[in-house]
Amino acid sequence: MALRNVILKILFFTIFLFNFNAASAQYYFDSTYIKKYYNNAVWSLYQNYNNHSLYISQSFNKDTTVNSLLNPIAESLTDVGFIYSNEKRFFVINLYSVPNQPSKRKPQPKAINFIIGINDNNKLSELGVNWFTGYYEKNSANFVPNFNDSTPYYSYDKLKTTNVFYNYINFTNKRKFSYGAAYRGSALQKKSATSFVYYASANYNRMHSDSAFIPKEMRNSYDKFGQMNRLNNAYLLVGVGYSATLVIKKVFFTNLTLMGGPGLQYQNYSSVNSTKSISAVNTLLQGDIRYSIGLNFKHFYIISSSLISLKSYNMSKMGVTSGHLMNQFTLGLRLNRKGKIF
């Protein structure tokens, strides 16, 4: 408990420090590279698709005749909503979700994805929540007898995952580069530019099920983790990266942002056959890929973007990697604003 309290104090202090620096820093940008839309309210309609994958492996059993790799996947519904942003703030509100095509082989998924943030002077703060359930096993053929194209996938009926995160991302080329232009439509990137990136992240992740995560056919291979039904992770990490935007004729643009870094995590897990929970401290790695392509006009813009985030929650002789994919299509409109809305 003492270690967890220390980590939480460090987390809150880190968030305060980064936001204090973001609020106090000022800079002058090069207007030949960037156009800022001050006193504009930016409204956009979006459609996005999310899925969440887990990659679970073990090193207890070296028998190569048994493929014990597991890959639970939850495919979310297609969300439709709107985004409000201005020169500093943005938030995303989901209006409704379009049901996926019914599948007789996969369970019906459910998901919640929410994010708000501040993008001030190329310093981006994001606070969000992801929740998924309805997982199926992509590698069902490894242990489901006579598995074929009509066999239902193994279903993780009660498995639920929750991820609460705070990201702070600093793009150092503040004079010539705009992250908001490539992903939020809050500015216009007139010329191609690049930027070095450094960032920090604080996360809380929870996996929980009424029964053991590991399918019964695989539990012997996972030894002491075979009966695990709850895994909590709280971690802090720092990292670096690079972002580049290519602009053609001041209208067409595409951006690629790569980030990665190490962190320290506090883990707590329990099993269905034990009343005790076990805690541990381990290192982890996280990597993010962000990509966008679009058209940016004076009052109107179109952006198609993708996000891939990979997080490693490794433990002694067991590896758990979390992968989050989001694809989003956005239509946006900039309107003159009098006074503050938010």
Structural domains for the chain: 2-336 (2.40.128)
* CA angle (330 as vertex; 328, 332 as ends), nearest 5: 160
- Determine the Cα–Cα distance for residues 180 and 298; give it in Å rounded to an integer: 15
Highest mean pLDDT among 12-21, 68-77, 107-116, 224-233: 224-233
Q: Reduce the secondary structure of 216-235 to three states and give it as a string.
A: HHHCCCCHHHCCEEEEEEEE
Helix ranges (H only) for the chain are 2-24, 179-183
Please give the pLDDT value at position 122.
Answer: 83
For residue 24, give the 3-state DSSP assignment. Answer: helix
Please give the pLDDT value at position 97.
Answer: 74
On the question of pLDDT at 130 being above 80, the answer is yes
Higher pLDDT, 268 or 120: 268
Please give the pLDDT value at position 255.
Answer: 97
Closest to 122 measured CA to CA, from 90, 88, 91, 86? 88
**What's the half-sphere exposure (Cβ side, CA atoms, 13 Å) at 179?**
23
Highest mean pLDDT among 30-44, 55-69, 147-161: 147-161
Please give the pLDDT value at position 108.
Answer: 82
- Determine the Cα–Cα distance for residues 282 and 109; give it in Å rounded to an integer: 31
- Determine the Cα–Cα distance for residues 306 and 293; give it in Å rounded to an integer: 9
Closest to 112 measured CA to CA, from 130, 100, 96? 130
Query: Do the beta carbons of residue 144 and residue 151 sit within 8 Å?
Result: yes
Highest mean pLDDT among 52-61, 69-78, 111-120, 194-203: 194-203
Q: How confident is the model at residue 3 (pLDDT cuts 50, 70, 90)?
A: very low
How far is C-alpha 33 from the geometric centre of its chain's CA atoms?
A: 29
Please give the pLDDT value at position 123.
Answer: 87
Higher pLDDT, 237 or 17: 237
Higher pLDDT, 41 or 281: 281
Per-residue pLDDT, averaged over 84-92, amounts to 75
How many residues are given for the chain?
342
On the question of pLDDT at 230 being above 70, the answer is yes
Q: How confident is the model at residue 314 (pLDDT cuts 50, 70, 90)?
A: confident
In whole numbers, what is the pLDDT of the chain averaged over residues?
84
- Determine the Cα–Cα distance for residues 17 and 4; give it in Å rounded to an integer: 20
Q: Using the 8-state DSSP alphabet, how is residue 60 labeled?
A: S
Please give the pLDDT value at position 25.
Answer: 43
Q: What is the pTM of this model?
A: 0.83
Q: How confident is the model at residue 29 (pLDDT cuts 50, 70, 90)?
A: low
